[in-house]
């Protein structure tokens, strides 16, 4: 069994389960509010100048003079604010003040008889011919990696992909990202299509503040795949995969919405296809996962189980 969509990967499943790890997922009522609090009050109407969202790693601009944090004799910044100092944990590791916890929102859409995307319950039973799509939203800027395993076999990195987004995987806070893309030229590549083959698929979503060491992105990924077709899709080393497995042990807090059946709204569609951020009034993710502490990585799983 294998995937077939925009990543050239056939998804067959009849039940879906989202979890961080079976023994650490915690339901919390305040998770949804904490995630949505960073959404802007008003929707941005300014789309990227290029017309598409850049997923490439942002370039660091170095400036010689920074006036906003120039200290005055009374130990205040130039704009008259008292500078805040990082806090330290028992190990002496410093954490910036007011750093928000990392969060990831997931919504599962299913293609209805009219071809529209409709919110669906991840625990429902799917059948041959059903088609689904995943919409992701983060509460901060960062890097998204997606790995796939079949029947608990060796992991394969299916995103970033050299043929998508110029090999980039950088997400902006509250700018939705869909898998697969509804903008694909062929309809068959716009959905994850369920076939008749039984099996156990898992998608591992890894959201990080900084790129993962040892996994190529952007031009490095494009060059790797161009020079050696056998090297792509990329297979993470045992060391990298062990790190992912370790991160899965960190507790996550979750909030699930029981509302299903709603068609994807024009606001969601526009935000996804034009690279606009979602506002507080826009539809919320069906499921929200947040780290229980201020870590730099968040790992969760979308389990795909096919039953006859």
Query: pLDDT by residue (tens digit) across 22-55?
Result: 434 555 668 999 999 999 998 776 666 555 678 8
Q: Which residue range(s) make up the domain with 150?
A: 15-44+96-305
In a domain, 260, yes or no: yes
Range from 105-114, 121-130, 174-183 carrying the lowest mean pLDDT: 121-130
For residue 63, the model assigns a pLDDT of: 62
Counted domains in the chain: 1
Q: Cα(111)–Cα(129) distance, rounded to whole angstroms? A: 10
In a domain, 77, yes or no: no
pLDDT tens digits along 236-267? 999 999 999 999 988 899 999 888 999 999 99
In a domain, 90, yes or no: no
In a domain, 2, yes or no: no
pLDDT tens digits along 274-307? 888 899 999 999 999 999 888 899 999 987 666 6
In a domain, 63, yes or no: no
In a domain, 79, yes or no: no
pTM for the predicted model, two decimal places: 0.78
267: tokens are 């606001």
Q: Which comes out higher in pLDDT, residue 145 or 13?
A: 145
For residue 198, the model assigns a pLDDT of: 67
Q: Cα(139)–Cα(35) distance, rounded to whole angstroms? A: 6
CA distances from 41 to 1, 22, 168, 223, 279 (A): 44, 35, 28, 41, 6
Phi, psi of 221 (to 5 degrees): -70, -40
Q: How is residue 263 annotated by DSSP? A: B
In a domain, 258, yes or no: yes
In a domain, 73, yes or no: no
């Amino acid at each position: 069994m294998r995937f077939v969509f925009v990543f050239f990967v056939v998804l067959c499943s009849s039940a879906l389960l989202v979890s961080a790890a079976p023994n650490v997922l915690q339901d919390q009522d305040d998770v949804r509010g904490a995630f949505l609090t960073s959404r802007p009050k008003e929707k941005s109407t300014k789309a990227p100048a290029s017309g598409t969202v850049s997923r490439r790693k942002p370039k660091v601009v170095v400036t010689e003079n920074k006036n906003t944090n120039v200290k005055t004799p009374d130990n205040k910044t130039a704009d008259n604010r008292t500078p805040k100092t990082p806090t330290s944990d028992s190990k002496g590791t410093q954490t910036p003040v007011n750093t928000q916890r990392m969060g990831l929102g997931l919504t599962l859409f299913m293609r209805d008889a009219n071809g529209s995307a409709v919110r669906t319950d991840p625990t429902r039973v799917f059948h041959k011919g059903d088609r689904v799509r995943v919409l992701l939203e983060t509460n901060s800027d960062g890097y998204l990696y997606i790995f796939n395993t079949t029947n608990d076999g060796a992991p394969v990195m299916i995103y970033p992909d050299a043929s998508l987004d110029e090999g980039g995987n950088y997400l902006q806070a509250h700018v939705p990202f869909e898998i697969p893309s509804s903008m694909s030229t062929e309809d068959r590549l716009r959905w994850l299509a369920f076939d008749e083959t039984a099996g156990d698929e898992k998608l591992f979503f890894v959201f990080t503040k900084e790129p993962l060491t040892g996994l190529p992105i952007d031009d490095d990924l494009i060059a790797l795949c161009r020079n050696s077709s056998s090297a792509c899709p990329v297979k993470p080393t045992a060391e990298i995969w062990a790190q992912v497995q370790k991160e899965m042990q960190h507790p996550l807090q979750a909030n699930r919405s029981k509302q299903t059946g709603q068609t994807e709204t024009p606001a969601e569609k526009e935000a996804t296809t034009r690279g606009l951020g979602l506002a507080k009034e826009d539809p919320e993710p069906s499921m929200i996962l947040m780290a229980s502490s201020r870590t730099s990585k968040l790992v969760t799983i979308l389990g795909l189980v096919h039953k006859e």
